[in-house]
């Protein structure tokens, strides 16, 4: 966490533009809502993703991420609002340009892996022979050359995950939609997927990556919408969002630092680690007032720093702020 001057911070009220200059967006979601019976899965959601960009679609389980992705894929239709994919309404015909990795993965259990992948590649517009050759080459590169003729039911979990990634990327899609892609992956396969996703991004593909793990988004994503209970609570470029909320995070090193959140003015949470305490502040709370309270508690302060919060801290504050706004 880098030190910053207290008078140079932005506030949570700063507005991030809903669009930015650059290439025409690959996906535009505009004020989309979707309900299932009395349950509102998505409420007035808007965001976009451009070629060469990874959009981290963040939120807890059940927040509406998968529903939104399925609307982009035209698996289900929104109740209101509009969606544009490559400047067209979503349709089956766009499938040749899209790679989709669903949360519930699965290859054909009774087909050899090479046949499953060739078939899926052909569905996305590749000639069968080309799809089979691409699959054979990539699977061999990934250490699965001796598993080409194994049936899907005979693969280990890790091998199955690798093959599923190959199926998603086989046809060099211009848009990748990845629903909880790292869930259940071991570190080796997770790194494999990251490198493949980053390569497609660098080649100009647009990527929508759904996750509830904030550390994944911090390491991969350029722009994020944070959603909770189907509604957007925060949206914008990752660096801008961090700057907007950085005044709310204070880290102090010292001896006998107070840990009672209730005794500290404007503190939302306290995290103590190895002689260092990280205080997450409420919106508008003054870091200097916290410092005064810590010094008054007779603690010895060795370092005081206002810095950039983690995405998890930003999400907690944004959700808390949205809930306070909806209750007034």
- Looking at the fold, whether 46 and 60 belong to one and the same domain comes out as yes
CATH number at residue 177: 3.40.50.300
Last residue of one domain, picked from the residues 239, 257, 289: 239
Q: Evaluate whether residue 100 is within a structural domain.
A: yes
Answer yes or no: do 210 and 69 share one domain.
yes
Domain final residue, candidates 174, 208, 239: 239
Same domain flag for 166 and 42: yes
C-alpha–C-alpha distance, residues 171 and 234, integer Å: 33
> Rounded distance, CA 14 to CA 38, Å?
34
Q: Are residues 228 and 283 in the same domain?
A: no
Residue 271 falls within a domain, yes or no? yes
Q: Which residue has the higher pLDDT, 307 or 237?
A: 237
In a domain, 4, yes or no: no
Shared domain for 109 and 31, answered yes or no, is yes
Same domain, 232 and 250: no
- Residue where a domain terminates, one of 201, 223, 239: 239
Same domain, 213 and 88: yes
Instruction: Give the per-residue pLDDT at 324.
Output: 62
19-28, 172-181, 194-203: segment of lowest average pLDDT: 19-28
Residue 326 has a pLDDT of 58
Question: Based on the domain organization, do 284 and 211 belong to the same domain?
Answer: no
Backbone Cα Rg of the chain: 23
Residues 254-274, mean pLDDT to the nearest whole number: 87
180 and 217, same domain (yes or no): yes
The reply to whether 187 and 319 lie within a common domain is no
Assess if residue 15 is contained within a domain: no
Q: Check which CATH number belongs to the domain holding 253 and give it.
A: 3.30.70
Residue 134 reports pLDDT greater than 80? yes
Residue with tokens 């598993």: 147
Neighbouring residues of 268: CB distance < 8 A, sequence distance ≥ 6: 248, 261, 280, 281, 282, 316, 317, 320
264 sits in the region (left: phi over 0; alpha: psi -120 to 50; else beta) called beta
| Domain span including residue 139 | 27-239
Q: How many domains does the chain have?
A: 2
Residue 22 belongs to a domain: no
On whether residue 3 sits in a domain, the answer given is no
Contacts of 2-8 spanning 24+ positions with Cβ under 8 A = 2/307, 2/308, 3/305, 3/306, 3/307, 4/246, 4/306, 4/307, 4/308, 6/247, 6/287, 6/288, 6/306
Residue 143 has pLDDT above 90, yes or no: no
User: What does the pLDDT read at residue 83?
Assistant: 96
Name the residue with higher pLDDT: 122 or 189: 122
Greater pLDDT, 45 or 92: 45
Residue 5 lies in a domain: no
| pLDDT at residue 130 tops 60 | yes
Mean pLDDT for the stretch of residues 47-73 = 91
Mean pLDDT score across all residues of the chain: 83
85 and 221 belong to one structural domain: yes
Tell whether 149 is covered by a domain: yes
pLDDT of 19 over the 90 cut: no
Same domain for 133 and 168: yes
Predicted confidence (pLDDT) per residue in 211-225, tens digit: 877 778 888 899 989
Q: What is the per-residue pLDDT for 322?
A: 65
Q: Is the pLDDT of residue 22 over 70?
A: no
């Amino acid at each position: 966490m880098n030190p910053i001057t207290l008078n140079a911070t932005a506030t949570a009220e700063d507005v991030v533009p809903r669009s930015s200059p650059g290439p025409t967006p690959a996906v535009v979601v505009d004020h989309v809502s979707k309900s299932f019976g009395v349950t509102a899965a998505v409420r007035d959601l808007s965001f976009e993703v451009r070629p060469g960009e990874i959009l981290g679609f963040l939120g807890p389980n059940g927040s509406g991420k998968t529903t939104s992705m399925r609307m982009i894929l035209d698996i289900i239709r929104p109740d209101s609002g509009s969606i544009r994919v490559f400047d067209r309404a979503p349709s089956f015909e766009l499938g040749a340009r899209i790679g989709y990795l669903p949360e519930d993965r699965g290859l054909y259990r009774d087909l050899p892996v090479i046949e499953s992948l060739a078939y899926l590649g052909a569905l996305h517009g590749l000639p069968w022979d080309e799809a089979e050759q691409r699959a054979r080459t990539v699977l061999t590169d990934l250490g699965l050359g001796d598993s080409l003729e194994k049936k899907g039911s005979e693969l280990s979990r890790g091998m199955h995950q690798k093959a599923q990634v190959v199926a998603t990327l086989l046809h060099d899609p211009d848009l990748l939609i990845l629903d909880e892609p790292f869930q259940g992956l071991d570190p080796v396969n997770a790194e494999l997927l990251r490198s493949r996703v980053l390569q497609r991004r660098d080649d100009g593909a647009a990527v929508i990556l759904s996750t509830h793990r904030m550390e994944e988004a911090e390491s991969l994503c350029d722009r994020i919408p944070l959603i909770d209970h189907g509604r957007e609570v925060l949206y914008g470029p990752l660096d801008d969002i961090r700057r907007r909320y950085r005044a709310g995070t204070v880290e102090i090193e010292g001896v006998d630092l107070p840990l009672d959140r209730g005794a500290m003015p404007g503190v939302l949470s306290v995290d103590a680690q190895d002689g260092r305490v990280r205080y997450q502040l409420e919106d508008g709370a003054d870091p200097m007032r916290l410092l005064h309270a810590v010094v008054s508690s007779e603690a010895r302060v060795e370092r005081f720093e206002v810095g950039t919060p983690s995405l998890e801290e930003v999400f907690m504050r944004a959700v808390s702020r949205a809930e306070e706004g909806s209750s007034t």
